[in-house]
Amino acid sequence: MAKRIGPAKVKQYSLEFKFKAVQLSDKPGVLMKDVAESLCIHPFMLSKWRKAVPGPDTDIWEWALLVLGAGAFGLGTYLKSRANK
């Protein structure tokens, strides 16, 4: 087998996966380390995702807007058009 040249491939997780991981780690009595281990992710990644969620009442769509920005959903143009009215 040929040896890989260049940097290792970085795993990209879906927004839903990240959000579910954060929800699991927010449950009472559940350790963040255990959640990260069970999902085969590094605890640092889970910690980073948790910091991105502003509060416990945030839903996945609010979080997506915060993380990805309105432009990712085509909402930038919509919001600008609403502001001009």
59 pLDDT above the threshold of 90? no
Instruction: Show me where the domains of the chain are located.
Output: 15-83
Q: Residue 65: helix, strand or coil by DSSP?
A: helix
pTM, full prediction: 0.61
Q: Residue 24: helix, strand or coil by DSSP?
A: helix
Question: Among candidates 33, 73, 74, which has minimal Cα distance to 50?
Answer: 33
pLDDT computed for residue 14 by the predictor? 81
* Confidence tier at 34 by pLDDT (50, 70, 90): very high
Q: Which amino acid is residue 56, in one-letter code?
A: P
pLDDT computed for residue 76 by the predictor? 56
Q: How many CA atoms lie within 13 A of 72 on its CB side?
A: 10
39 pLDDT above the threshold of 90? yes
